[in-house]
Amino acid sequence: MIPDTQPAAHAPSELRSHWGLVAAGGLLMATSSGVWYAASVFFVALIQEFTSDYASTAGVISVFIVFYGVWGILAGSLLDRLGPRRVILAGGIVLPLALIGSGSITALWQLYLTHGVLTPLGLSLMSYVPVSVLVTRNFSAQRGLALGTASAGVGIGISVIVPLTQILIDQTGWRIAYFGLAGVAAGVVLPVGLFALRKAERWSAQAVVAEGGSGGGTPRGTSGREWTLAAALCSREFWLVTAAFAFLNCPIQLALTHHVAHLVEVGHPKLLAAGIVGVIGVVSIPGKIGWGYLADRWIPEWIYVVGCAFVVAGIFVLLGIGPTSPVRSLYAYALLMGVGYSVSPAMTPIMCGIFFGGPHFGVIFGCLNLLYHAGGAAGVWFAGYAHDLTGNYRLSFSASALSAATTVVLVWLAAPRRLRPPGVVPDP
């Protein structure tokens, strides 16, 4: 175990002294998740507007997820070179312009460019990868709790922005809803980048000096090895961890993209379905904080066992919902999925940091993010294609439960417990 190079006196109070950084990360995650998961309510509106099949419309979201991963490599590389603040500010410019473009389309194919290619570019520059790198580089002790707290912003974005988007669509149409999202993105990301992250840049600069220039305060992985991207790509651990992330992200993105369409299809009102998405967001807030807290104390394998069990249970509840199902069954699904899906965004940067911390963490995490989201893209497209073939979501929802169970096996094979025994907070 590598000794902690941070002054011991400061480690217990990191979260308190850096609460502004965590809050800024939470705001960015709230904005990005609101834009991301609003796709589930736009999905229904776009099918009706362009009278398209499910697979073609779901294809837009699949392209979006793939390019989010592709742009993540670019974001990671830029983060290692320029620092988080400049990258996030760039995202605050690109994202609103992309959303305005989506609200201005006249044919579905144009959405493949605006929402499928440009929107994920903006998001990749201001959300998950930058926030994960920013928090990872500024925390040693309590890193799991800090990352979990920042990622709890995802739940806030889902619970607030998605239902409001549905109301905007109902009242003013989907085009105005896109313009409204653009205003929210610009109104949050630019002020955060301009003002809230100035202090974070000073902290990172001080960490560079303290570590003797060792890469922005991100020391080597817990194993003691200084990872490069090439070394990571040649390692068994990288592919096991990546496969685990992809197999879990596949059912999560499948369900969170198609659940509104499924609930509306079986006879439940659109606003109720959008409200269920909001409930998932609310439940995920303590879920992400809780998983982050446990990550500092449990071995990751057991966290994935419990989290994936919640995901599988939620999918089976969703699969059983029909036109006569009571509303409480919808809330049961929201509770299970909200807790279960939270393990993925909370644990992904933590797991990556356990294995691949170091001066090249940004680009390694960005590359891993590409493959992670490729799994989500495949799930979203498969659900739309299977629905066109069968007329329902039974096949895709059943397959997604199997995918989530496979995640547990892959995490145990990767064996992060070798590097992070319970009760020990490693040097990041």
Closest listed residue to residue 262, CA positions, set 40, 37, 38, 39: 40
- What pTM was computed for the model? 0.70
Tokens 């980048």, located at residue: 193
Decide if 349 is inside a domain: yes
Contact yes or no for 58/384 (Cβ under 8 A): yes
Decide if 147 is inside a domain: yes
Model confidence at 214, pLDDT cuts 50, 70, 90, reads: very low
Is pLDDT above 80 for 109? yes
- Which pair of structure tokens corresponds to residue 85? 């603040």
Based on DSSP, count helices (H) and strands (E) in the chain, helices before strands. 20, 0
Lowest mean pLDDT among 67-71, 116-120, 394-398: 67-71
Largest CA distance in the chain: 65
Decide if 5 is inside a domain: no
For residue 12, the model assigns a pLDDT of: 47
Closest listed residue to residue 254, CA positions, set 103, 402, 72: 402
Decide if 384 is inside a domain: yes
Closest listed residue to residue 350, CA positions, set 426, 249, 247, 281: 426
Model confidence at 373, pLDDT cuts 50, 70, 90, reads: confident
Lowest mean pLDDT among 171-175, 328-332, 379-383: 379-383
Nearby residues of 341 by Cβ (< 8 Å), 6 or more positions away: 252, 255, 256, 280, 284, 287, 311, 314
Tokens 């809803």, located at residue: 177
What CATH number is given to the structural domain containing 379? 1.20.1250.20
Model confidence at 15, pLDDT cuts 50, 70, 90, reads: low
Decide if 10 is inside a domain: no
Contact yes or no for 115/60 (Cβ under 8 A): yes
- What mean pLDDT comes out for the span 39-64? 80
Q: Which residue segment(s) compose the domain that 271 sits in?
A: 17-418
Q: Work out the percent of the chain whose per-residue pLDDT is above 90.
A: 27
Lowest mean pLDDT among 2-16, 55-69, 193-207, 298-312: 2-16
What is the C-alpha separation between 47 and 19, in angstroms, rounded?
42
Tokens 């109104």, located at residue: 187
Indicate the DSSP class of residue 269: -
What is the C-alpha separation between 18 and 27, in angstroms, rounded?
15
Tokens 């919902």, located at residue: 321
- Which pair of structure tokens corresponds to residue 236? 């068994």
Is pLDDT above 50 for 91? yes
For residue 5, the model assigns a pLDDT of: 36
Decide if 381 is inside a domain: yes
Is pLDDT above 80 for 138? no
Contact yes or no for 57/384 (Cβ under 8 A): yes
Which has the higher per-residue pLDDT, 192 or 96?
96
> Averaging pLDDT over each range in 86-90, 371-375, 415-419, which range is the top one?
86-90
Burial code (b: 16+ CB inside 10 Å, e: under 16) for 378-401 equals: bbbbbbbbbbeeeeebeebbebbb
Model confidence at 260, pLDDT cuts 50, 70, 90, reads: confident
Q: How many domains does the chain have?
A: 1
Model confidence at 227, pLDDT cuts 50, 70, 90, reads: confident
Lowest mean pLDDT among 3-17, 215-229, 312-326: 3-17
Contact yes or no for 182/99 (Cβ under 8 A): yes
Decide if 427 is inside a domain: no
Contact yes or no for 264/252 (Cβ under 8 A): no
State the alpha helices, DSSP H only, in 192-235: 198-210, 229-233
Is pLDDT above 50 for 249? yes
Decide if 425 is inside a domain: no
Which has the higher per-residue pLDDT, 10 or 260?
260
User: Containing H/E element for 219?
Assistant: none
Nearby residues of 262 by Cβ (< 8 Å), 6 or more positions away: 318, 321, 393
